C-alpha cells in the first residue's frame, strides 16, 4: 500500500527534460495490447491502495496500481462489485491499466463500460504536473471530461495515478440459459431479446450455442428464465455453472482464444451479419462485439467493420509493427495529435503504442 505519486511525477519531469520515452506499465498483465511499448519503464505496480470507499455512496477511489483482485475482495465484503466486469488476463491486472485499455466484460451493453463508471481521476501529464479531474460524485459537468478521455488512450496522454469509480450492488441472482443455434439466428435472437424489458445482462454466441445471462431480483430472473425456456420449446436449458462460463469468456479463457493466430476485435452494430468473418467467430455484447481469428490485413478487416457500422482492432497476435487500430480519418488524426501535444508536449508517454503517428 503506497503512494509513490511524487516519485512518479519526478521521473516524468526528468524524462520530459531529457526527452526520454517512458513505457508506462501497471501490473504487466496485458503486454500484448497496442503496438508494443518502447522506452524507460515507469511502473505503477507499487502505487497501490484503496484511498476511500463509501459503500452507501457507491463510490470507490483507488490508486492506479491497485489490483482488481484486491478491489474485488473489498467490494465483496459489502455485497458490491465493479459492474463493468473488467477482464483479468492474469493475477496482476490493475484498475489503471483496465481504464487505459478501456476493457469491459460481457455485461457491457447493459451495465456500461469502465469509462461509464469513471467519476474522476488523477493524472500526471507530460510536464510532470499532477492533475485532478472529475470527482467522487455521480454527476459533475464542470470542465472538460478529461477523465473519460483516458479510456482507450493506452497511456498516451498521461500517467493515471488514481481512479474514482461508481460501484454497484451485486445482483441478487444470476442465471444462465443455453441453446444450440446457428450464428445468424443467434444474432437475431439476441437483439430481439435485448429489446424486451427483461433482466438480460449478457448475450453471447460461441461454438454453435447461444448463451444468455439474466441478473436481478430473484423473482424476475426466475420468471423470465421459465418463460424463455418454455418459449423455446425445450431447446433452451439452464446452464448449471453459468458463472464459470461468463468468467472464462470475460478473461478470454475459452478455447476460442487460445493459440497464436491473429485475434481481431470488432465493435459493430449489434445486428450486423458480418458473414465474412465466417464460423471462427465469437459474438459477445449481444452482437455488438465480435471476436474473429484469421490472418487478414487491417485494411480488409477495417472495411468489413465499417460496413458493419463499426471499428476493428487487432487485439493480440499478428503483425504489430504496422497499425493495430482502426484507421482514423485525417481530421480526427489531427485532433488526436494536438490533444497528445496538449497533454504530453514532449511526446514521452508510450510513443507509438496506440498509433504509429502518436
Partner 1 sequence: MSVANSHETDTPRPIDGRTDFPPVYRASLADRFRRFLSPDSVITDDETIRPYECDGLSMYCEMPQMVLLPETVEQVQQIMRICHAEEVPVVARGAGTGLSAGAMPHAGGIVLSLARFNRILSIDPQARSARLQPGVRNLAISEAAARHGLYYGPDPSSQIACTIGGNVAENSGGVHCLKYGLTVHNLLSVEVVTAEGERVTIGSDGYDSCGMDLLALMTGSEGLLGIVTEVQVKLLPKPEVAQVVMAGFDTVQAAGAAVAGIIGHGIIPGGLEMMDGFAIQAAEDFAHAGYPTDAAALLLCEVDGTEEEVHDHIHQAESLFRALGATSVRTSGSEEERALLWKGRKSAFPAVGRISPDYYCMDGTIPRSQLAHVLTEMQRLSDHYGLRVANVFHAGDGNLHPLILFDANVEGEFERTEAFGGDILNLCVAVGGSITGEHGVGMEKIRQMPNQFGNLEVSQFHAIKQAFDTLGILNPGKGVPTLRQCQEYRAIGPLRQPDVAQAGEAHHG
Q: Is residue 139 a contact residue for partner 1 (CB under 8 A)?
A: yes
Least distance in Å: CB of 216 to partner 1?
6
**Antiparallel, parallel or unpaired: β 168-169 and 173-180:** unpaired
Q: How many CB atoms lie within 10 A of CB 98?
A: 27
Q: Which stretch binds partner 1 (CB under 8 A): 21-29, 39-47, 64-72, 331-339?
A: 331-339
Window of 89-97, 241-249, 251-259, 339-347 that interacts with partner 1 by CB under 8 A: 339-347
| Given 23, 74, 131, 273, the residue binding partner 1 (CB under 8 A) | 131
Residue numbers 13-52 binding partner 1 by CB under 8 A:
none
- The yes or no reply on residue 341 touching partner 1 (CB under 8 A) is yes
Q: Does 308 bind partner 1 (CB under 8 A)?
A: yes
Which of 345, 279, 289, 339 minimizes the C-alpha distance to 313? Answer: 289
Q: Which of 43, 102 has the CB closer to partner 1?
A: 102
| CA 101, chain centre distance (Å) | 6
Evaluate whether 313 touches 325 at the Cβ level (below 8 Å): yes
Q: What is the C-alpha to C-alpha distance for residues 289 and 298, in angstroms, rounded to an integer?
A: 17
Residue 339: which residues within 8 A CB-CB, separation 6 or more? 149, 157
Instruction: Examine residue 350 and tell whether it contacts partner 1 (CB under 8 A).
Output: no
Nearest Cα to Cα of residue 167 among 61, 247, 69: 61
Within 287-306, the residues that bind partner 1 by CB under 8 A are 288-289
Residue 21 or 101 having the CB closest to partner 1:
101
Are 94 and 101 contacting, i.e. CB atoms less than 8 angstroms apart?
Answer: no
What's the min distance (Å) between Cβ of 91 and partner 1? 25
* Footprint of partner 1 on 260-279 (CB under 8 A): 266-272
Sequence-ordered list of residues with C-beta below 8 angstroms from that of 74, at least 6 positions apart, any chain? 50, 53, 60
Asked whether position 73 contacts partner 1 by CB under 8 A, the answer is no
What does the per-residue mask of binding to partner 1 show for 207-226, with x meaning CB under 8 A? ---------xxxxx-xxx--
Amino acid at each position: 500500500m503506497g503512494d509513490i505519486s511524487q516519485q512518479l511525477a519526478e521521473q516524468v519531469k526528468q524524462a520530459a527534460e531529457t526527452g526520454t520515452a517512458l513505457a508506462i506499465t501497471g501490473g504487466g498483465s496485458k503486454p500484448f495490447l497496442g503496438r508494443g511499448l518502447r522506452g524507460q519503464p515507469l511502473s505503477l505496480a507499487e502505487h497501490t491502495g484503496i484511498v476511500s470507499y463509501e459503500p452507501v455512496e457507491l463510490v470507490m477511489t483507488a490508486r492506479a496500481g491497485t489490483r482488481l483482485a484486491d478491489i474485488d475482495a473489498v467490494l465483496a465484503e459489502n455485497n458490491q462489485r465493479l459492474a463493468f466486469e473488467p477482464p483479468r488476463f492474469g493475477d496482476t491486472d490493475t484498475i489503471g491499466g483496465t481504464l487505459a485499455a478501456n476493457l469491459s466484460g460481457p455485461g457491457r451493453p447493459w451495465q456500461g463500460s469502465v469509462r461509464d463508471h469513471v467519476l474522476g481521476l488523477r493524472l500526471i501529464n507530460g510536464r510532470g504536473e499532477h492533475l485532478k479531474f472529475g470527482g467522487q460524485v455521480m454527476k459533475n459537468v464542470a470542465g472538460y471530461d478529461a477523465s473519460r478521455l483516458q479510456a482507450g488512450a493506452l497511456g498516451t496522454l498521461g500517467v493515471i495515478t488514481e481512479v474514482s469509480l461508481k460501484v454497484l450492488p451485486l445482483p441478487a441472482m444470476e442465471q444462465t440459459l443455453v441453446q444450440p443455434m446457428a450464428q445468424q439466428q443467434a444474432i437475431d435472437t439476441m437483439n430481439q431479446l435485448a429489446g424486451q424489458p427483461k433482466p438480460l445482462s449478457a448475450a453471447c454466441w460461441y461454438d454453435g450455442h447461444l448463451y444468455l445471462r439474466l441478473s436481478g431480483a430473484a423473482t424476475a430472473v426466475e420468471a423470465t428464465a421459465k418463460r424463455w425456456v418454455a418459449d423455446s420449446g425445450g431447446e433452451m436449458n439452464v446452464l448449471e455453472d453459468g458463472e464459470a462460463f461468463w468468467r472464462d469468456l470475460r478473461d478470454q479463457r475459452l478455447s476460442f482464444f487460445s493459440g497464436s493466430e491473429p485475434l481481431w476485435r470488432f465493435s459493430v452494430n449489434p445486428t450486423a451479419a458480418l458473414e465474412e468473418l465466417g464460423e471462427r467467430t465469437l459474438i459477445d455484447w449481444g452482437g455488438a462485439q465480435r471476436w474473429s481469428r484469421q490472418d487478414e490485413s487491417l485494411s480488409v478487416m477495417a472495411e468489413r467493420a465499417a460496413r458493419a457500422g463499426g471499428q476493428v482492432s487487432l487485439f493480440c497476435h499478428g503483425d504489430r509493427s504496422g497499425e493495430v487500430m482502426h484507421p482514423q480519418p485525417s481530421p480526427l488524426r489531427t485532433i488526436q495529435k494536438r490533444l497528445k501535444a496538449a497533454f504530453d508536449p514532449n511526446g514521452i508517454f508510450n510513443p507509438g503504442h496506440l498509433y504509429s503517428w502518436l
